[in-house]
Structure 1
Amino acid sequence: MPAAHPPVPAAILTRLNAICLGLPEAYEETAWAGVRWMVAKKNFAHAVRIESGWPPAYAEAAATAGPATVVTFRLPVERLATPRFKRAPFFRPVWFANIAGLIVGEDSDWDEIADLIVASYRVLAPKRLALLVDSAGL
């Protein structure tokens, strides 16, 4: 394990904060590795920097020793069963049936990332908050 956990690049954090913190009652917190965004104590997005194979669970799930930045999120299981989530830049960690991740790169589609994070929020947020997002057209 490296002496210090590698930080998620500031430019990626800025973009993720713009998406995540615009959702009702969402907040950011430092995770054991990286940064996560929560609603009602549930993690709807998590960004982690992988370097030199650390953290190993993420390196294994994303099939990379890095350097790479990954974001994980939750979606309905039936949506994750589609072929889209079985190929790069996506990966499927084994931690939960409804979790997926993607490797963020220079050519990442930030509109798609925003859609996935908002969908993840809807999966985990209390119904009253999820309805606010639905009514706002997010």
Structure 2
Amino acid sequence: MTERPEIPAALLRRLDQLMQGFPDCYSEEAWVGIRWRVRNATVAHLFGGEDGRFRITFRAEPEEVTAFEHLGPPYFRADWGSNVVGMTIERGTDWAELTELLTDSYCLQAPAGLARQVSRPSV
């Protein structure tokens, strides 16, 4: 059995700080990696590292899923769920953009009352 790579502490801290800023959002170990949830809904899932790269999946509006799929790297469409897309986290990751994507994911997954408590970037 091969050992799975450990998620770098700095990466985990950065994501945890962001995600725990959302009402009732918490992290837990997943079948692989770490996931953040609100109630019983997964908002984001961080995994990977076998190839030196970590990936984070999140939820997106249906029309955005197609756009992410066509953008190509660092974005990808997950093989599960109709609204699950992801991004490879790299040295040059745009953290402002990732924050916006994770905020949108939270708002899609959270109950309406919790989602209304979150400030979303204006378009």
The TM-score, its normalising length taken from structure 2, stands at 0.91
Contact preservation (8 Å) 1:19, 1:114: yes
SS at match of 2:42: strand
Q: Please give the residue correspondences for 1:100-119 in structure 2 after superposition, counting only pairs within 5 Å.
A: 100-119=85-104
Aligned residue in 2 for 1:120: 105
Alignment partner of 1:71 out of 56, 60, 69: 56
Q: Distance in 2 between matches of 1:12 and 1:47?
A: 10
Q: Please give the residue correspondences for 1:1-138 in structure 2 after superposition, counting only pairs within 5 Å.
A: 1-2=1-2, 4-51=3-50, 66-82=51-67, 84-86=68-70, 87-133=72-118, 136-137=119-120
Superimposed CA distance per residue, residues 84-119 of structure 1 (whole angstroms, 9 cap, x where no aligned partner): 442100011120110001110010000111101010
Contact preservation (8 Å) 2:6, 2:49: no
Q: Distance in 1 between matches of 2:6 and 2:34?
A: 9
Contact preservation (8 Å) 1:7, 1:48: no
Contact preservation (8 Å) 1:8, 1:34: yes
Gaps of at least 5 residues in structure 1 are: 52-65
Superimposed CA distance per residue, residues 15-72 of structure 1 (whole angstroms, 9 cap, x where no aligned partner): 1011100000100101111100000111100100231xxxxxxxxxxxxxx1210000
> After the TM superposition, which parts of structure 1 deviate over 2 Å for at least 4 consecutive aligned residues?
none
Shift of residue 137, structure 1, vs aligned partner? 4.3
SS at match of 1:94: coil
Contact preservation (8 Å) 2:44, 2:102: yes
The root-mean-square deviation of aligned C-alpha atoms, in Å, is 1.4
> What percentage of aligned pairs have identical amino acids?
35
Q: Give the number of the structure whose residues are more often helix, by fraction.
A: 1
